[in-house]
Amino acid sequence: MNNSVSSTVRLIGAGLRALLVLTVICGVIYPLAVTGIAQALFHDKANGSEIKDKSGQVVGSSLIGQSYNLPKKDPNDAEEAARPDLKWFQPRPSNGLGANSVNTQYSLILSGATNRSADNGAVGGKCTKDAEEGTLCAQVVAAKEAVIADNSTAGYTVKPEDVPADAVTSSGSGLDPAISPEYAKLQVHRVAEQNKLDVKQVEKLVADHTTGRTLGFMGEPRVNVLELNIALKALTKS
């Protein structure tokens, strides 16, 4: 009996010592080591890939998109449609899952896609104006019309075939911070006109902020909208 109790006590003691050692290693030493390495080698990424303006103020993250809309006419009207501020480059549509009352910089409460098929609402296999309201095709058609209307200027008319897919569809997460170079270039004339800048200046701005494929073969060329608009703001004040 004494041997049994003694063995049990030894086993409990060994278990508690193992628990204490593993808690210190896995709960203290390992997290501190990983955090230290991340801060030393990947300081920017470890802190959320923050983007700062010229004054050093954090204005967002390079990983999360932002919207650039005019203030609401009635701040208390939750149903009032957002109106894009046309002096800024616009991001992809932010059609996420539900309305957002916390982070007013982006109209999402959860990230995610609509899960609708590409032909949702299609008529005869095509997205047309006859698409049923609320379907993906109806959203795409409406978005395309808005892109054409917003970006056509006195000396530049946007053609329907020039509107890229990312101008009228949200990304899988609904939080994509980047747009295609084609969508950025499509907005150049409108941004130049709204800010009283030369088109060549804005074209150079887009070119300077176009990032190529990762490692030369992964992904697609892209333009980070927040970084581009920060540069645009600096240009308009220069």
Q: Determine the Cα–Cα distance for residues 166 and 91; give it in Å rounded to an integer.
A: 9
- Among 68, 116, 113, CA closest to 95: 113
The pLDDT of 8-30, averaged and rounded, is 93
The pLDDT of 155-175, averaged and rounded, is 89
SS3 state at 66:
coil
Alpha helices (H) in the chain, listed in sequence order: 2-24, 30-41, 43-46, 136-151, 181-186, 188-195, 199-208, 225-237
Lowest average pLDDT, out of 22-26, 40-44, 50-54, goes to 50-54
Say if residue 78's pLDDT is above 80. no
Average pLDDT, the chain: 86
Confidence of residue 113 (pLDDT cuts 50, 70, 90): low
CA 181 to chain centre: 15
pLDDT for 166:
92
Q: Determine the Cα–Cα distance for residues 125 and 138; give it in Å rounded to an integer.
A: 13
pLDDT for 7:
84
Q: Determine the Cα–Cα distance for residues 220 and 205; give it in Å rounded to an integer.
A: 19
List beta partners, residue 211: 222
Q: Determine the Cα–Cα distance for residues 90 and 176; give it in Å rounded to an integer.
A: 12
Q: Who's near 141: CB < 8 A, 6+ residues apart? A: 127, 128, 129, 131
The pLDDT of 107-113, averaged and rounded, is 58
Label the pairing between strands 178-179 and 222-224.
antiparallel
pTM of the model: 0.79
Q: Determine the Cα–Cα distance for residues 128 and 219; give it in Å rounded to an integer.
A: 30
Say if residue 110's pLDDT is above 80. no
Q: Which residue has the tokens 């050093």?
A: 56
Lowest average pLDDT, out of 82-96, 100-114, 126-140, 188-202, goes to 100-114
- Residues 174-222 pLDDT 10s: 788 999 999 999 999 999 999 999 999 999 999 999 999 988 889 999 9
Tokens for 91, please give them.
Answer: 């991001």
- Residues 90-103 pLDDT 10s: 999 875 444 444 44
List beta partners, residue 51: 60
Say if residue 227's pLDDT is above 60. yes
Residues counted in the chain:
238
The pLDDT of 153-160, averaged and rounded, is 93
pLDDT for 112:
65
The pLDDT of 165-171, averaged and rounded, is 88
* The 3-state secondary structure of 131-193, one letter per residue: CCCCCHHHHHHHHHHHHHHHHCECCECCCHHHCCHHHCCCCCCCCCCEECHHHHHHCHHHHHH
